[in-house]
Amino acid sequence: MTDTDVMERKRVSEIPLHGPEAFEAMRKVGRMTAECLDLLAEHAQPGVTTDFLDRIAFEFIRDHGAYPACLHYRGYTKTICTSINHVVCHGIPNDKPLRDGDIVNIDVTLILDGWHGDSSRMYYIGEVSRRAQRLCEITYECLMRGIAAVKPGATTNDIGAAIQTYAEAERCSVVRDFCGHGLGRVFHDSPTILHYVEPAYNVELKPGMLFTIEPMINLGRPQVKVLSDGWTAVTRDRSLSAQFEHTVGVTETGVEVFTYSPKGYDKPPYGVA
């Protein structure tokens, strides 16, 4: 498929379809994104500030010839998002130390050679309660079930159904206010990936589509509110929230995940002290 073909298909469908060169670039940036999250696993401990984790991520990214996509994105001032306990997403790193028992989502997006890799994982800070661990495990399973639904001919609602069915069977709720997204040379592109069923938006998956799946799952109600900093989203009922995110591509036969951890650190615990 030539670039002209890709552009033509884009005009027709409005959803970019990418060729082999794009997939190769996404493998590179996806791996580096995962390596950045792997590195953070060694530092996410009680007493460490999220600003410190932000600096580790920034330096890793710059040392590897990449750029942090979130920095200066719509006025955001950090490299990573750090979402602790009842924070759903877009928590801003600060000078407060992490505490024993916290669960933290770290979300990082890299730009390498113009291509975006976007991934997030949960981290256990010290000893974490059984209920918090259970939420993280359910959320990881939601992501993996969503990924397993991806293949040509399936639809975005198949992804949402896989996630919502499992989360609700486990008596958890799916956040509606944030979603996965197409990406590639653009950070947030079409298609939109909802983590629940919405018949009014349902797109057929085709080879060459690139997008994230990033379910946010709450122990309580699904409602969220954004704090006055304009970013930090928290659960309205202050229940615990968890999220995992991978960047994937639709292949001729199924799905390719670009952001798996080379160390096998895809979900906690990560086997570091």
Residues in the annotated binding site? 90, 107, 118, 181, 188, 214, 245
Listed ranges 69-77, 130-138, 200-208, 232-240: which one lies at the site for ligand MF3 (CB under 6 A): 69-77
The entry of Co ion, ligand MF3, none that residue 90 binds, CB within 5 to 8 Å by partner kind: ligand MF3
Q: DSSP letters of 55-84? A: HHHHHHHHHTT-EETTTTGGG--SSEEEEE
Work out which of 73, 114, 129, 168 binds ligand MF3, going by CB under 6 A: 73
* CB nearer to Co ion: pick between 212 and 261: 212
Q: How many angstroms from the chain centroid is the CA of residue 121?
A: 7
Q: What string marks each residue from 98 to 127 as x (binds Co ion by CB under 5 A) or -?
A: ---------x----------x---------
Comparison of 158 and 245: residue with beta carbon closer to Co ion: 245
245 binds ligand MF3 (CB under 6 A): yes
In whole angstroms, the minimum distance from the beta carbon of 134 to ligand MF3 comes to: 23
- Contact between 195 and ligand MF3 by CB under 6 A: the answer reads no
Bind-site residues for substrate: 90, 188
> Which single residue is written with the structure tokens 């942090």?
68
Q: How far is the CB of 156 from Co ion (least distance, A)?
A: 15
What's the CA gap between 164 and 156, in Å, rounded?
A: 12
Strand partners, 122: 105
The neighbour count for residue 237, using CB atoms within 10 Å, is 14
What is the sign of the dihedral through the CA atoms of 73, 112, 269 and 121?
Answer: positive
Residue ranges for the known binding site for a divalent metal cation are 107, 118, 181, 214, 245
Contact positions with Co ion (CB under 5 A) in 3-32:
none
Q: How far is CA 49 from CA 43, 54, 161, 238, in A?
A: 10, 9, 37, 22
Sort residue 208 into left (φ over 0), alpha (ψ -120 to 50) or beta. Answer: left
Binding site for Co ion (CB under 5 A): 107, 118, 212, 245
